[in-house]
Each structure stands twice: as C-alpha cells, then as structure tokens.
C-alpha cells in the first residue's frame, strides 16, 4: 500500500540526507580551479612560495591552482577580496605576517583576520638575517650591541617602510637588546640592502630571500639569523639564541587561510594536502633555494600562531609608538 509522505516528513527526510550529500561534495573537492590570492607583486618570496606550493597542489587535485596577485595596503586588498569570496574553499588567501601586524596599526579594517578566516597551515618562514656592511667593524651581535650602547640613537638600520617586517624586527631587537637604534625607511628591502652594501648605512634586519644572495656572494657580513637552531641556509652563521637573545623571534612568514564558514571536510582536506605538498622533497628543495623554510602544521596550531603573532606585534607597535594612519 502506498502511503504518501506528509510535507513535514518529506522535509525531514531531505534534511537528513543533506550531510551525506554535503560530505560527498567535500570528498570530491576540488572539482574546478582553485585560486590563491597573494598580497604582493609577482617575483617576491611570498609570491614564489605560493606558486611552488600551488604547482604541487595542482598535481594532486588534477585542477589548476592559479596565483592571483592583489598587492596594496599591506595585505588589506588581498584579505578583503578573499573575505568577499564564497566560503567554499576555491579562494585561498596566502596570509602573511602583515595580517597580524595591521590590527595594531589600523583602527578600522574591512575584515577581522581571526573571526573572518579559518587558518589552514603555515607554509614557510623567512628568517631574519642581521647583516652589516663589510666596511663596518662589527664581527658579532655583541660588537653591534656594545657600539649601539655607546651611541644611543645614532646607529642606523634600513628597512622597507614603517610597520613592515624589517622595521619591526629592528624595533624588537632594540627592545630585547636594550639599545636605541635609528630606523631609516626605504621603498623596499632591496634599496635598503643596496645602501648597506654601498656603506651608506651600517646595517639591516633583512628577510633571508633578500639577504641570502648578497651574503653568499660576500657583499655583506651576516652576524646572526633568527632560526631557533643553525639554519641549513647559512650553517656557519650563529643564531640570535647563540648571540644571547633567546626570545628574539622576528621571522617573516606566510601560510594558507580561507574564508570562515568553509565546510570542515574541505578545511581538513586543504590542510592534509598543503602539509603533504610542503613535505615533498622537491618542494622543500625549491623553497630552501629562495630562502624560505617550509613549516607545515595543523590548522589548530596555525590558528594559535596567528593569535600569538597579533599579540606579539601589538606590544611592539605600542612600545615603539609606531603610527601609520
């Protein structure tokens, strides 16, 4: 005997089927191209990291992974575009250190990096290398600190602009070493490093991708690197820990985030595949070659790291009274 389903019963049946349908869709992810929004122009270390990782993900997924460069406003433009995209996992944000500094520098942002995004995994760190010109007498971090203590506010370091990674690295160093350094802004890390090489300024706290070629070419002297142990990038260069600054951790970094509300099965698959890609020996070798150290991690750990970084840089911004608005 045929018994017709009442409307409410039919609705309940359909709702009961939704999780199964939803899960099947997540299992098939992705079924079309995925894009990664990068907050910097093509060719830099962040862009290259996203492209190297994206190529491997494309191999896994059998669909293109397209890097879209959305530079400007220290990462705001890329983050806002990612937040406005559907929460389906097809638009990834390459989240960077700037996204954790900006909340302390700008009173109004069109997004909340913690509430509006789900964080997948750290991709790579870009260690900070303290470099000095070859004409300078400093042979160690201690030499530099001693000189800065004798000349408060006189010893200058170059950086790529107020609120950037190189600027904050210098401010953090001064706080932890107990010295007063004078910061000199440039339009990019490259021009600042060129003036260190040319002898126009004494030193710079540079990201590894920028400094590494000049260090290996013998054009600048590296005094320390910000890795927790000696890096395979520069095995003969001591760490800041060895130099007596165990809490100095100014690394620049980049990772993968998606809009909040992305289905959990998609988040889990993204984490698994991003981690797998970053552990691939070929990907690792290519990243190390550009001065990036692969750092895959769980989504929970990356989320905790984002929170910690916001607090850390907020303290530096307040103590240094950095203002860009």
pLDDT at position 283: 98
Distance of CA 151 to the CA centre of its chain: 33
Gap between the terminal Cα atoms of the chain: 74
Cβ neighbours of 256 (radius 10 Å): 27
Same fold, 33-126+252-320 and 128-225: yes
Tokens found for residue 20: 């199964």
pLDDT at position 26: 56
Based on DSSP, count helices (H) and strands (E) in the chain, helices before strands: 11, 11
Q: 128-225: CATH homologous superfamily?
A: Periplasmic binding protein-like II (3.40.190.10)
DSSP 3-state of 298: coil
Per-residue pLDDT of the chain (325 residues; tens, 9 = 90+): 444 444 444 444 444 444 433 443 456 899 999 999 999 889 989 999 999 999 999 999 999 999 999 998 889 999 999 999 999 999 999 999 999 999 999 989 999 999 999 999 999 999 999 999 999 999 999 999 999 999 999 999 999 888 788 899 999 999 999 999 999 999 888 899 999 999 999 999 999 999 999 999 999 999 999 998 999 889 999 999 999 999 998 988 999 999 999 999 999 999 999 999 999 999 999 999 999 999 999 999 999 999 999 999 999 999 888 877 5
Q: How far apart are CA 213 and CA 210, in angstroms?
A: 7
Place of tokens 């000049």: 214
DSSP 3-state of 255: strand
The pTM score is 0.85
pLDDT per residue over 193-203, tens digit each? 999 999 999 99
CA 319-320-324 angle, 5° bins: 120
CATH fold for domain 33-126+252-320: D-Maltodextrin-Binding Protein; domain 2 (3.40.190)
Q: How far apart are CA 6 and CA 291, in angstroms?
A: 64
pLDDT at position 2: 45
Instruction: Report CA-CA distances (Å) from 191 to 61, 160, 264.
Output: 40, 8, 44
Nearest to 114 by CA among 252, 305, 271, 307: 307
pLDDT at position 74: 86
Query: What are the residue boundaries of the structural domains of the chain, listed by start?
Result: 33-126+252-320, 128-225
Q: Name beta bridge partners: 157.
A: 183, 203
Judged on CB neighbours under 10 Å (0-12, 13-18, 19+), 10 is exposed
pLDDT at position 325: 57
């Amino acid at each position: 005997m045929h018994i017709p389903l009442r409307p409410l019963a039919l609705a309940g049946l359909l709702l009961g089927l939704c999780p199964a349908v939803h899960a099947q869709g997540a299992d098939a992810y992705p079924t079309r191209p995925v894009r990664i929004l990068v907050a910097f122009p093509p060719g830099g270390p962040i862009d290259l990291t996203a492209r190297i990782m994206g190529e491997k993900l494309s191999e896994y997924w059998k669909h293109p992974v397209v890097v879209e460069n959305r530079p400007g406003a220290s990462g705001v433009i890329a983050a806002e575009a990612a937040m406005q995209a559907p929460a389906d996992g097809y638009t990834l944000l390459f989240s960077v250190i700037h996204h954790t500094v900006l909340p302390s520098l700008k009173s109004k942002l069109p997004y909340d990096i913690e509430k509006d995004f789900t964080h997948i995994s750290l991709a790579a760190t870009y260690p900070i290398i303290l470099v000095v010109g070859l004409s300078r007498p400093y042979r160690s971090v201690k030499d530099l600190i001693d000189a800065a203590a004798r000349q408060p506010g006189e010893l200058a370091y170059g950086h790529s602009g107020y609120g950037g990674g190189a600027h904050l690295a210098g401010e953090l160093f001064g706080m932890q070493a107990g010295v007063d350094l004078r910061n000199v802004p440039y339009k990019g890390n490259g021009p600042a490093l060129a003036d260190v090489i040319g002898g126009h300024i004494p030193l710079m706290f540079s990201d590894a991708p920028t400094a590494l070629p000049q260090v290996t070419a013998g054009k600048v002297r590296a005094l320390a690197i910000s890795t927790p142990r000696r890096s395979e990038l520069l095995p003969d260069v001591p760490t800041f820990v060895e130099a007596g600054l165990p809490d100095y951790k100014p690394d620049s970094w980049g990772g993968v985030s998606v809009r909040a509300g992305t289905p959990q099965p998609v988040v889990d698959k993204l984490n698994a595949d991003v981690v797998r890609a970053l552990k691939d020996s070929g990907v690792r070798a290519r990243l190390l070659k550009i001065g990036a150290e692969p750092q895959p991690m769980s989504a929970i750990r990356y989320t905790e790291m984002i929170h910690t970084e916001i607090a850390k840089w907020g303290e530096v911004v307040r103590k240094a009274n950095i203002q860009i608005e």
